[in-house]
Each structure stands twice: as structure tokens, then as C-alpha cells.
């Protein structure tokens, strides 16, 4: 019986890994450096995305006011407990915030966490000229527009 459980666990892990790998490969367009185009005058902002493994990507969002760093967020796309998550580590929260990936296409993805205060939903979509990220929840919505920089 123990061998059967071990075999089933290995098979389940392999299926989850294959799902995560296939899904994250659909998001290859996200990899790279993105410069935000709709920032306040005097500010600049970038997001950097890097593939770490078949089941994990890392992102970093940085906003500058002139040469001073005013905001940093550490981001991940990661497989956990059989699902994919967008994980945000931001100064306003004292712990990581997990948003479950609920939709994925070759051009976009959506992640949601209805229990989080704001945002409850994060969506990324390729556009003709770049990338649009939208955070939303409770009747509020904020769009961030980016162009690829490389």
C-alpha cells in the first residue's frame, strides 16, 4: 500500500508540474523588461520578469521619482498545491499575497483573491504595442500600460 501511495504521489506531482510548465510556457511573452508609459511626470517605473524554472517565474516592479526609489514589489508566478499563483510581496502587506490564476490564454492571464482587500483581481494582457496590467476590486480599477524595453 505504501508503494502505491508513493507512486500516486509521484504521478500527481508530475501532472501538476506538466500543467504548470505548459501554462507558464504560454506566458513566454511576459519575460523581459517592461517600462511603464502612464506614470506621473518625473517618475519612471519598470517590471522585470525572468523564468527561474519550469514551475516558477520571478518579477520585480520598481517605481522611481527621479533617481529615488519610491516603490518596490517582488512578484512570482509559481505552482503550489496543484494550482498556479501570482504572488505579490509589497511593503503594505506584512505577508505574501497569493492570487490564484483563473484564466490563461496565449495573450493574457487573470489571477484572483476575493479575500484580499485590494486588489482582488490582477489581469495582464498583451496589446499591439506592449502590455496592459489591470488591478481591480470593489468597483475600483487601475490600468498600467507598458512597452517592452530591450
- Contact 36/45 with Cβ under 8 angstroms? yes
What's the grid cell of residue 36? Answer: 511603464
Using omega within 30 degrees of 0 as the cis cutoff, is the peptide bond preceding 119 cis? yes
DSSP 58-126: EEEEEEEETTEEEEEEEEEEEEETTEEEEEEE-TT-SS-EEEEEEEE-SSEEEEE-TTSSS-SEEEEEE
* Domains of the chain in sequence order: 2-149 (2.40.128.20)
Which is nearest to 101 in space by CA: 26, 50, 44? 26
| pTM metric for this prediction | 0.86
Instruction: Identify the helix (H) or strand (E) that includes residue 6.
Output: helix 2-26
pLDDT in tens, the chain (150 residues): 554 445 434 334 444 455 666 778 889 999 999 999 999 999 999 999 999 998 899 999 999 999 999 999 999 999 888 899 999 999 999 999 999 999 999 999 999 999 999 999 999 999 987 999 999 999 999 999 999 996
Amino acid at each position: 500500500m505504501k508503494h502505491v501511495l508513493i507512486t500516486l504521489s509521484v504521478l500527481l506531482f508530475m501532472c501538476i508540474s506538466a500543467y504548470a510548465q505548459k501554462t507558464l510556457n504560454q506566458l513566454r511573452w511576459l519575460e523581459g523588461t517592461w517600462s511603464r508609459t502612464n506614470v506621473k511626470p518625473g517618475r519612471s517605473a519598470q517590471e522585470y520578469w525572468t523564468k527561474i524554472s519550469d514551475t516558477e517565474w520571478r518579477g520585480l516592479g520598481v517605481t522611481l521619482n527621479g533617481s529615488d526609489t519610491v516603490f518596490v514589489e517582488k512578484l512570482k508566478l509559481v505552482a503550489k498545491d496543484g494550482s498556479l499563483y501570482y504572488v505579490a510581496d509589497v511593503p503594505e502587506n506584512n505577508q505574501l499575497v497569493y492570487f490564484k490564476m483563473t484564466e490563461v490564454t496565449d495573450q493574457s492571464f487573470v489571477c484572483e483573491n476575493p479575500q484580499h482587500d485590494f486588489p482582488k483581481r490582477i489581469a495582464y494582457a498583451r496589446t499591439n504595442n506592449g502590455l496592459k496590467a489591470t488591478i481591480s476590486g470593489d468597483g475600483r480599477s487601475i490600468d498600467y500600460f507598458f512597452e517592452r524595453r530591450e
